[in-house]
Structure 1
């Protein structure tokens, strides 16, 4: 039995292709293995705090006993990391905003990329501690960032790959939707759904 962490970060609560496709991905997965379980988090309707001085002091001064304020500052981070560690499969809806990720998703990453919990430094370099996960990142954008002239402006895909790899998540697959016109949107929606059908079946072969 696999556990899924389903996360949405779109600022749109209606009319969002990334939300629609993450939902369809999870629904398709559960049709195949209905015994699997899901934790859902909406980063837009339940925004996360940004890290601050108390958070940084608690994480980077481990030799000093943390103050009550520092311990409190890590409460959200601890919860999010526990959710991440408990999951076998990650389904992240992350639209492209201004060539990168939404601020809500950046706030999430800042909370879960944490020395001693999800990564550590060794004599041979950094080591990710979040291992054995499958990550599916569903993106949505007006332009096609897989092709020029926008491909060279894409700071979204390489950034997500970098941070996930840094904490040990190396099995990362992107499902993309794009299009300005209704015709292009529907055409690419059909293509994304076909990818979902294929990837959910393939993913379940390696999820447990």
Structure 2
């Protein structure tokens, strides 16, 4: 049995392709693995606090030296880090907003990127401590950014691959719904392609 952490970051509660395709993936995963535990976190419905001076100060204060206010500030981050370590599989719905991720997903990353907890510095450079995870990222964008002239504007997949990789997560698959601004047929085509990819991933 596995633990699955399912994170959504789309600001849209309906009509979101990243939500739709990631939910279909989770439904098929649950059907194929009924004994697995799935923890869902909706960063739009229940956003985590954005990084602040107080939060940063609490992160860099040893636990035994934190005052009550600092202990309260770091509580959410500790819970998110615990969820991350407990997960064997991480599924992220991450639509592209202005060429990158949502601010709520960035806030989540700011909570889980913790020196001494999820990564550490060694004599050979930084070492990610969140290892052995499978990560599936479901993206959606109005244009096409996986290749062609728009590829230079894809700061979503490049950032997530770098940020998650820095923490030790190297097994990352992107399922991209692209070109959805092209009309109904473009949406239908990219959804069909996404579903084929889901079937192939689950059959592997």
Q: Shared fold (TM-score greater than 0.5)?
A: yes
Match of residue 21 from structure 1: 21
Q: TM-score normalized by structure 2?
A: 0.96
**Structure 1 residue 61: Cα displacement:** 3.5
Distance 2:79 2:187 in 1: 36
Distance 2:45 2:55 in 1: 23
**Structure 1 residue 56: Cα displacement:** 1.2
Alignment RMSD (CA, Å): 1.2
Match of residue 42 from structure 2: 42
Q: Counterparts in 2 of 1:115-194, with a 5 A limit? A: 115-178=115-178, 179-180=180-181, 181-194=183-196
How many residue pairs align between the two structures? 202
Distance 2:126 2:5 in 1: 25
**Structure 1 residue 63: Cα displacement:** 8.9
3-state DSSP of counterpart to 1:98: coil
Distance 2:81 2:191 in 1: 32
List 4+ stretches of structure 1 deviating above 4 A: none
The farther-off stretch of 116-125 and 54-63 is: 54-63
Distance 2:64 2:171 in 1: 36
Distance 2:35 2:173 in 1: 23
Q: Deviations over 1:40-90 (max 9, x none)?
A: 000000011012122211222339811111111101101111111110000
Q: CA 1:123–1:201 in 2, change beyond 3 Å: closer, same or farther? A: same
**Structure 1 residue 99: Cα displacement:** 0.5
Distance 1:169 1:63 in 2: 26
Structure (1 or 2) with the greater helix fraction:
2
Q: CA 1:37–1:61 in 2, change beyond 3 Å: closer, same or farther? A: closer
Q: TM-score normalized by structure 1?
A: 0.94
Match of residue 199 from structure 1: 201
Contact 1:81 1:112 in 2 (8 A): yes
**Structure 1 residue 148: Cα displacement:** 2.2
Match of residue 60 from structure 2: 60
3-state DSSP of counterpart to 1:146: coil
3-state DSSP of counterpart to 1:156: helix
Distance 1:201 1:37 in 2: 20
Give 5+ residue unaligned stretches, structure 1.
203-208
**Structure 1 residue 201: Cα displacement:** 2.5
Distance 2:48 2:94 in 1: 15
Q: CA 1:193–1:61 in 2, change beyond 3 Å: closer, same or farther? A: same
